[in-house]
Structures are given as C-alpha cells and as structure tokens.
Structure 1
Amino acid sequence: MSKKTLVMKFGGTSVASKDAILNVVKIISNHKDDKLCIVVSALGATPQHGKVTDELIELKTSNKKEKILCRLRKRHIDLINECIQSKRYRKEAKKDIEHIILEIEKHLNDPKYPLECFGERMSVQIMYYLLCDQKLDISYVDAGNIIHFINTNPHFQKITESSELIKKTIKSGRIAVTEGFIANENGKITCMIRGGSDQTATLIGEAIGADEIIIYSDQNGILTADPRIVKNARTVDEISYSEAEEMAGHGAKIIYPKILDPLKTSNIPVIIKNTFNPAHKGTRIVPLAKTKGIKCITMINQTHTSIHNPAMIGTEGFLAKVFASIKNDVDIVMSGNPIIGYTTTNIRDTKDNLQEFGEIRQLKVHTIAIVGEEVEDNPKVMNRISKCLVDKNIEIEFISHDRQSAAIYFGIKENDRTYALLNMLHKELIE
C-alpha cells in the first residue's frame, strides 16, 4: 500500500492534559508509515485549567501578570514531567518553555505584540520532544516561516513556496510538526482569527498536495444538531464543502468557517475525527457529497434589523448607501420593496445611525439554518418546517434561501420554545 500524505491537526482539547496528549502520540504512531505533517493548537481547557490562549489574552490587561505567568509556566512544565520519560528530552523541553516565558515577559508592555501566539509556541515544543521521546523521526518547522499573510489574508504563492521545506521533510521520512494559529505578515509574527489552526492545516495541506487533512477534536465528527439541545443528534457521515461552510458560519462550532477556502481547486477531503475515540470514522467533508438531503440543523443568536421605506422603490443607489453605513459584518440579507433586512451577530448599528434611511426595527432572534444540498428545491421541506412552527405556535420573522446557498434560513423571536422546536425539526427532517 502506498504511503498517504496526511496533515493532522490536533485542537486544544487534544493536547490539554496527559491522557489527551498521549492519545495523540498513539494516533501519530499508528500513522508513522505515512508522510505526516502535524499541526498543534495551544493547550485547551481542563477542569483545573482555562484555555492557554485566553490566559495570554488576559495578560495584556491584567494587574496580576506574574501570577498568570507562573500558572502558565507550571502547567507546561508539569505536562512535560508527566509525559516525557527521557531525562534528556525533559531537560530540553523545559529549557525551551523557560525561554518562551522570558520572551513573553519581554513583550508584556508592548500592546501591539500578539502574546496569543505563545500558546502554540509552547505546546508545539512539548509535542516535538514527546515524539522524540517515542523514538519517532521528527522535525520542527516554524509556522512563522511557512504561513504568510498579506492584508490579513493568506498569501497563497508564498505559502506554497515556503511549504517546500515541509515537503522535503516528509519526503525524507521525517514527521514535520508545526504550530497552528501563527502567521507571518510583512515580516512580523501575527495571529490568525480564533480557530485559525484549522486553516493552518488546510493551507499546508493545499500547499504540499496532501491526500487528506484530518482535524482532531473531542467529538466524533460533525453532528446533525447541537447535542446539548437536540437529544437525538448523531454524526454526519459525509457532507459537501458548501454544506460545511453553511454549518460553520451558523452555529456549528466544530470547524472554522474559512478552512475550506484553500481547497477549492485541489478538492482535498477533510476528515473531522475524535482524539478520544479514534476508531470512529468521523465526518468526511468532500467537494460533492454522494447523498443529498438535509444534513444538519443549526441555530445562532442574532439581531435582525429591518428598514421600511416606501420611497426607496426605484431609487438608484439606495441599497449601496444603506450598506455603506452599516458598521457590522452582515450575515443574511433580505430585500423586498419597501423593506430590506439583514442579520448580524455582533450588533453595533443603532436605530439612531440608521434613522435617515427609513423606519427602523431591531429584534433579537434565533436564526435557524436547515442545511443540505438542493434543500430549496424540495417543497416537502418547507411544509414540514411550517408544520413544526404551527405546532409550537411560533411565527417566522424572516426567511431566506437561494440556489447558491446549501441552506434555508429563518428567524424567530427569542423564546423558551426554541429548543422544543429544534427537536421537532430534527425529528421531522432528519430522523
């Protein structure tokens, strides 16, 4: 059997504790005959500790900087002592952690320095020496030399050129290990948006021509709904790129919305798997899924803003003026004379700064997405949605769908019947 080229990304929960990180080592060891590039996130939360990235962000404004630094140092040193058997590698790993702590201290008073990047800097050193301890042939590659950004966007040509180092490393039989979340912009270290480690994996996967990109978390893949709300939620076997993007953008937090952008020419499959249950096949994300139909129901809390103005009918440039004045990142847009509407997750527009455009109405809503290819062409779907809404005595505030979208969206007022509605929708549309 020919060797596969794999990029394997391990999220914060996968490296948060001794048991978790030793599971990661087993997974990597089981793939040691493949060509591997490992991407590591900062240590995640445990019952005893918070997320390292959150603590590094807190450092910027806290008046208890020494206490936080001591806590960060102790957590990483303790993990080294618990996991690494070799005295030599324990000593080297501790030395690197101490050096990184000194680097953090050096930049504490620089408000522009991205302290968040040090979480991945520390976790990747632990992973590197732990894999050395397991006698695996390993090579550390600095993500700051690989992932290049320009104007906050990936510089694909530079990433492809820089990734030749990873190609050479894995071609020689060594395992490459690098950080997620970190990028180089104009020669300076910067951090990607939270959750960006997934994008690190797909950017590298595209650049080196990976056969698969595997993203490990603490779930068995992408679920049909939030299991905290919908009791019968189950793992989706396979979804398309477009379905995954709709889910990620509207409440499915297991994947980062932009991870698939680099893959749309190469069509590399992405697999979402569970570090703590690696035998489970997880969810495959592919360019076109073999099965159609509804894959997932998501919900997100948003603000729906509507502008009513009969005079706007036929007025050239009206919509352009409205959206030029909006301060938020607009999610869903609905337009139908004489009303236009849009949803936002973080509300910064007030009625006052939109008043010149007409009568303004703002409402807190639950935006529900019914995700699936060709869902808009199936009249039975809307009939079943309507049945559920009538049964729960809930009115729709807006509805939006088009042929370019793999989802139907509708908004309802925030209310205590939403969870019951989601369970009923799941039963009618998926179970």
Structure 2
Amino acid sequence: MGSFVVSKFGGTSMGSASAMAASAEIVSADPRVRFVLVSATSGTTHQLLKIHELRRGGSVSECQQFAEEIEEKHREIAVELGCSEKAMETLKAFLLELKAPLICSDSNQSLDHLLSVGERMSSLLFTEALRKKSGSKITWIDARKFLITDDRFGKAEPDITLTRANCDPLRDRLDLVRDAAPEVFVSQGFIGASSQGATTTLGRGGSDYSAALFAEALSADGVEIWTDVPGILTMDPRVVLNARIIDEMSFAEAAEMANFGAKVLHPATLAPVMRANIPVWVKSTFRPDLPGTRISPQVESGAPLIRAIAVRKRQTLITVSSLRMLNAHGFLAKIFEVLARYHLSVDLVTTSEVSVALTIDEDAMGSAGKSVKESTEMLAELRSFAEVRLEEDLSLIAVIGNGLNSAPGVAAEIFHAIRSQNVRLICHGASEHNICFLVASEDALTIARQLHEVCIEKPRVDG
C-alpha cells in the first residue's frame, strides 16, 4: 500500500461553506490524504448540549429555537455548497433527530446520540464540498460502524481490538490504489458505538483521539490535525502575544502539553500514535503554507530545555485527612479505589503523615459528568473513613520541557519567577517533562505570563 495519512479538521475548519471549501482544497491537493475525519461545525456541539439540557428541563420553546438555529445554519451551508438532492434528503433526516423526543430512559445515552448529529451533518456537507474539488472517489462512512467502545456514555473508552478488526475492510480498500483517482473516505470524529450498537462519544474534543485511533487501526503513515492555529505554541496566543510556534516536539512533550491543558490536542490523542509510532502534524487550515508542528518519537538533542507553559482551569483540590493514616498500610489504596469506582482521574498528589491532597479535573468527567461537589455518593464514601475538604476554582499551571528534574538551577529559576505569588500545591520530580503548580484561577494567567517571560522569552544562560 502506498503512503497515506489520516487528516482531521476541527470545528472552525467546518464553520462555514467557505471554510469547508478551503479544507476540501487542502485534501484534494495532497494525494497522501485518504481518510478524513471532521468535527461538528463550530458552536454546534454547544447548541446540542443546550437542547439536551432544555429537553430535560421541559423548556420546549427554547429547545425548538436552538434546533431551528442549527437547521438554518446547516441548510445555508448546504445551499451555498450546492449539495446534491440525495445529500439534502440525508441532511433533512439528520435534522429531524433534533426534534425527536428522548430516545431512551438513560439520559447520558440520549445525549451521546444527540451530539452525534453534529458530526454526521458536518461530515455529510464536507463530503459534498470535497466531491466538487477532487477527482477522486469520495466515500462517506459512519464512524459508528468501525470505532467500537465500551458503554460509558459521555466519555467512552475504545476497544482497540474490535476497532482494528472492523477497519480491516477499509484497510483492504485503501490497498487498492487507483492510478488517477484513489478512494478518499470521509467520516466523523468524536463518535463511536458500543458493541450493542448504541452511539457513544469520546468526550469533548475527542475528534483528535478518533483520528489517532483510526490511524492506528488503518496502519496509516501519519496524522494531520488541521485547526485554527499554525501549530503548537509555547502558550495560548490569546494570553501571551509573544507565544512562539514549536517546530518539532517529542511524543512525551506533546503528551504533557495535551494533558495539562493545551487546546490544540485532545489528551488521549498521543497514546494510539505512540503505540504505532505514527508521526503527527498540527497545522492551520487558514495558513496551509506554514509547516506547523511535527510530533515524533524523538527530537534533536539541541531542543530548548523549557518548551511551553500550559494552563488548565476548573481544577478541584480534595484533601483527605485521618489519624488512621499514621503507620497504616493501604490507606492511599482505599482512597484511590473509591475514586476509580466513580471514574475520577487524579492528576497531582501530595501526602503528609495524616493527609492526602489530590487534584481532579472538572472538564475530564465526560460530556454529562457531574462536578466533584455534585458527586455526593463518592464524597460520602470518602467521609465514611476520613475528613474531606474541597477547594474549587483552582487552575493548574505546568512548565513543560526536557530533563527538568535533573538540570541544575531550573527549579530555582522557576520558583524565583513566581516568588510573590500564592501557590497552593507544587508537584516536582515525578516527571522529567513537567513542574506543576496549583493556584487560584484568578491568579493563573498572571503567573503563566510571568513564567513564559522568564523561561521562554528570555534565553536561559547555563552555568
């Protein structure tokens, strides 16, 4: 099979007929692109979430208003693209699902099915846009027939073995390289299906993850993430005007950035490409001439020590205290056992003789997940054997780089830069790729700017 890549286009790249046409131009200009995944048009997922919320609250008129706005937007795009009569009929069928009653008693399952409409509509429209630009055979496929997950609605986990088996026929068709016009597949990011056929989602921003999973399952040679920024930057350019594009970074560095809040990549994206050793490019749909950022297993040894600053908001600090911890075995295991039962993932942990402090990311709890404060059953279990205190409205700041736990003076330089700030928790030493701080959300951007100025804008002088 010839070399091919999987390309994913985000919501802004699907946001209008002109944006879709520009994205289609990128695909048609590169014969290596044989499999394309798209997100819902920008803003649609948020509107669908509102519809679900209003349905549950019984606000029929407001729900209808959001549905009509979504319908109007997608019909306008379809007309502007000059979609075929068949495509218009399919779009009409998708739009009817917005007005349907709740499809089952499990509201999270209903939400996942509703959210899938966004990706199905955008991928249908993009297929039409691509057919007008490309001489290749363009085939629309339903991701739910290939990407198989568990039934944890809102944040489903993929079944790698079943997904790969389902993708075998696609891989065979990708082997059939037609001389002039190879087949190009268009599908949806973010969505999959359980083994029973129920629609599932991979969590907010999961389209990147879908691209990596399909690339692994199809044995692709690369993944392209097309977005509205020209690559991965040293910090969010909306916060720091002097943020710089990172030309190349390692899987480990990119994983740290995604995990600690960089919006360009979904945190789970790197696992499949790391397993399959598939490089990733992050590029701008609106500046396809720029090289973007390449993510590969290793980077040159001359890479800067500190690469980026990331901020992740909506963090909750849970402090669990009990005198039973003194000289006791298994106390930490008991805490983590409770958290695992409620699918809560811990990021930072510090301990003393009688207490454990740990952070939970509120945004990592799925499209229908409760907040930590609302998880009353989980908190009751913890309180059955310890005192529990919650602190909300915190942010996690990560300094990301290489060899941070072994380079002399790095920690001192970082701590000196924020010496006047109130830091709630520090995590250093567990990874050579990050030093993390937990701070009040109202102080987070000021601290992050200070760190970017000292650690990245001003060159470090060793010795």
TM-score by length of 2: 0.83
SS state at 2:208 partner: helix
The residue number in structure 1 matching 2:306 is 294
**Residue 345 (structure 1) shift:** 2.7
Which residue of the partner structure matches residue 425 of structure 1?
451
**Distance between the aligned counterparts of 1:403 and 1:109, measured in 2?**
46
1:277-322: CA deviations, max 9, x gaps?
Answer: 1111111122223225211111223233334556523111222233
**Equivalent runs, 1:234-273 vs 2, <5 Å:** 234-273=244-283
State which of 308, 330, 334 in structure 1 corresponds to 2:346.
Answer: 330
Q: Match of 1:161?
A: 165
Q: Counterpart of 1:372 in structure 2: which amino acid?
A: G
Could you tell me how far apart the structure 2 residues matched to 1:109 and 1:338 are?
Answer: 48
Q: Which amino acid counterpart does residue 122 of structure 1 have in structure 2?
A: M
> Among residues 358, 377, 381, which one is paired with 1:342 in the alignment?
358
The CA distance in 1 between the partners of 2:328 and 2:417, in whole Å, is 39
Partner of 1:150: 150
Identify which range, 19-28 or 134-143, moves more after superposition: 134-143
Q: Cα deviations across residues 33-78 of structure 1 (Å, max 9, x unaligned)?
A: 2251010111113xxx885544554564341243333322221111
State the percentage of identical aligned residues. 29
Residues in 2 aligned to 1:25 and 1:59: alpha-carbon distance in whole angstroms? 35
Give deviations 1:219-267, integer Å, cap 9, x for gaps. Answer: 1111111222222111111222222222222221221111112122211
Query: Shift of the alpha carbon at 1:364?
Result: 4.7
Deviation at 1:344, TM superposition (A): 1.9
Aligned runs of 1:130-149 on 2, under 5 Å? 130-136=129-135, 137-149=137-149
Aligned residues of 2:215 and 2:222 also touching (Cα < 8 A): yes
Contact 2:45 2:115 in 1 (8 A): no
Q: Which residue of 2 aligns with 1:22?
A: 21
Aligned to 1:102: 96
**Closer, same or farther in 2 for the Cα pair 1:66/1:204, shift >3 Å?**
same
Cα distance in 2 for partners of 1:189, 1:21 equals: 25
Where 1:213 maps in the other structure, the secondary structure is strand
Quote the Cα distance in structure 2 between the aligned partners of 1:43 and 1:277.
19
- The answer to which of 246-255 and 337-346 deviates more is 337-346
**Cα distance 1:34–1:363, how it changes in 2: closer, same or farther (>3 A)?**
closer
Normalized against structure 1, the TM-score is what? 0.88
CA shift in 2, pair 1:359/1:178, >3 Å:
closer
Mapped partners of 1:102, 1:142: distance in 2: 18
Tell me which of 308, 314, 318 is aligned to 2:327: 314
Alignment check: 8 A CA contact 1:217 1:274 kept: yes
Code of the aligned partner of 2:410: V
Shift of 1:361: 7.0
SS of 1:279's partner is: coil
Give the Cα separation in 2 of the matches to 1:284 and 1:12. 21
User: Counterpart in 1 of 2:189?
Assistant: 180
Instruction: Tell me the matched-pair count.
Output: 419
Q: What is residue 13 of structure 1 aligned with on the other side?
A: 12
Amino acid at match of 1:39: L
- Corresponding residue of 2:223: 213
Distance 1:182 1:138 in 2: 20
Tell me: CA distance 1:180–1:394, structure 2 relative to 1, closer, same or farther (3 Å).
Answer: same
Task: Give 1:66's aligned amino acid.
Answer: Q
Contact 1:42 1:52 in 2 (8 A): no
Show the counterpart of 1:388.
417
Q: 1:50 & 1:148 partners in 2: Cα distance?
A: 21
- Tell me what 1:397 maps to: 424
Q: Deviations over 1:159-206 (max 9, x none)?
A: 112212322333331111111122120222222211111111111101
Distance 1:383 1:177, change over 3 A: same
Shift of 1:5: 0.5
Structure 2 unaligned spans of 5+: 177-181, 363-371, 458-463
Match of 1:430, SS?
A: helix
- 2:210 aligned to which of 175, 195, 200: 200
SS at match of 1:242: helix
Aligned mates of 2:310, 2:134 — CA distance in 1: 44
CA contact (8 A) 2:13 2:20 kept: yes
